[in-house]
Amino acid sequence: SRVPVAFYCELMTEMDALPAFVTSISEHGLYLDSLAMLGGRSSDRVQLQITLPGEPETLWVMGEVIHDEPGRLFNETAVRFVSMAKSHWRILRRWVRVRELALTTQPSRMNQEHAA
């Protein structure tokens, strides 16, 4: 399942590294808001450079755009991860699972505090 996030990653193009804002992420892909100019790309394959908050290592990921909803300024883009180093996938999986756990346990903890 996807977890909501708010951080930037880099979309690597033939000419440049463009910032994109990640809005949710899972072990299998992510949603991001990217500049609309990315819509003119020649392929559905994209390379991402992701630095997860709190993680020292930058993840290099090859992805495939599976949904691209154009907007006036930003496109909402869904990317499915196609390949990455095993060590990077382990970092991503651990990072996502920790956030999933935090999201599922937080509401119950807040309810207990209010009941006390």
- Mean pLDDT in consecutive groups of 10 residues from the start of the chain, 116 residues: 93 82 96 71 84 96 89 83 97 96 72 50
Q: Looking at residue 59, what is its pLDDT? A: 97
Look up the pTM and report it.
Answer: 0.81
Q: Looking at residue 67, what is its pLDDT? A: 87
- Which of 20, 69, 86 is CA-nearest to residue 49? 20
Q: Residue 83 and residue 74: Cα distance in Å, rounded?
A: 26
Backbone angles phi, psi at 72, to 5 degrees: -65, -45
Q: Looking at residue 76, what is its pLDDT? A: 85
